[in-house]
């Protein structure tokens, strides 16, 4: 296992130590780092998907309001 050194404000360190008293703090930090990495990857996937949707919308044929209204009317019984 590797070692990671970082600095944190004293109030955050104190709150962390109180919250996770009696726990394996190295394991807690490793889990938090893993979650942060997964969250960042998920956010990037969401951004990428959004960009793909925007690109596809630019290539989609344009439809007028009248055409949309007519299509809705045709779909009604």
SS3 77: coil
Task: Determine if the pTM surpasses 0.75.
Answer: no
For the chain, the structural domain boundaries read 10-75
**Angle in degrees, CA 6, 11, 16, rounded to 5:** 70
DSSP annotation of 61: P
CA atoms within 13 A on the CB side of 76: 6
Contacts of 29 (CB under 8 A, 6+ apart): 4
Q: H-type helices in 9-24, by residue range? A: 10-19
Q: What is the pLDDT of residues 4-43, one digit of tens each?
A: 898 999 999 999 999 999 999 999 999 999 999 999 999 9
């Amino acid at each position: 296992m590797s070692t990671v050194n970082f600095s944190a404000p004293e109030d955050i360190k104190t709150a962390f130590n109180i919250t996770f008293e009696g726990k394996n703090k190295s394991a807690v930090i490793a889990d938090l780092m893993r979650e942060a990495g997964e969250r960042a990857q998920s956010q990037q996937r969401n951004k990428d998907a959004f960009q793909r949707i925007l690109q596809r919308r630019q290539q989609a044929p344009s439809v007028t309001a009248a055409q949309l209204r007519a299509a809705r009317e045709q779909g009604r019984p």
